[in-house]
Amino acid sequence: MIVNFPIIKNSQILVKKGSKIDFNTSLFKNNFKKEITINIAEKLSINPEKIFSYLKKLVGEEIKKDEILAEKKSLFSSIKINSPVSGIIKEINHNQGIIIIETLSKEKNDFLSPFKGIIEDIKNDFIKIKLNKAQIFDLKNKGENFGGEIFLFKSSDFFNIKTDNIENKIIVAEKFSSFEQIKLEALGAKGFITIDNMPEKTNLLFFKLKNIEDIKKIFKEKFIYCTIIENSDKIYFYYE
């Protein structure tokens, strides 16, 4: 199966066609844009509608850090507002008297692959990832990019499980008891896939399968990995 995985804009691709990838592979580096809001009217004690009379920059213009953004002069004094960052003037709101500066964060974050597979191709907007013997199932709730090795959990296995079985794995089961959930989290579970609500509040990601029969199919096929793509209500189960 081929999956189209979207590429975040302004990213530097770190993989090539034919590359084998896993959950520790960085697919791309992302430059995150930040927006800084400055209340000019409040700082200068002016009517918001008169903001343009005091600005030194307009929408679309570049501004450097510490450069004068706005200034209010009087007979005996002058109040200046310097830009706290370098960037582009994105918006001027004369109703609120604010200005928005868009800047690029200095941080470049590696985006780890939520899939384990092979890079089939790389397009402008997405990476084509080949999975081995995959099957798609419906979810009740949309997710974020989330994937990893799974552990097919049965209550009958509860007293035999150890940290080595559970740590950093996504636990799949029809349902969990409170005691089971607490122990699985303590053993280092990464998240949960089930058909019911979790009995206790959890800080881990968990998703509910839409169809009850799907959990039986997943156990029968004995899949090894699963992945959810951000804003999708689908989950991929697949093999090595």
How does the average pLDDT of the chain come out, rounded? 91
Fold of the 2-25+113-239 domain = Glucose Oxidase; domain 1 (3.50.30)
Mean pLDDT of 148-163: 92
Mean pLDDT of 86-112: 86
Fold of the 32-107 domain = OB fold (Dihydrolipoamide Acetyltransferase, E2P) (2.40.50)
Whether the pLDDT of residue 202 is over 80: the answer is yes
Instruction: Give CA torsion, residues 21, 24, 29, 30, to 10 deg.
Output: 110
Query: Which residues, including other chains, have CB under 8 Å from residue 139's CB and lie 6 or more apart?
Result: 207, 208, 209, 210, 228, 232, 233, 234, 235
For the chain, which residues make up each domain, given as ranges? 2-25+113-239, 32-107
pTM, whole model, 2 decimals? 0.69
What's the pLDDT band for 110 if we cut at 50, 70, 90? Answer: confident
Q: How far is the C-alpha of 154 from the C-alpha of 150, rounded, in Å?
A: 13
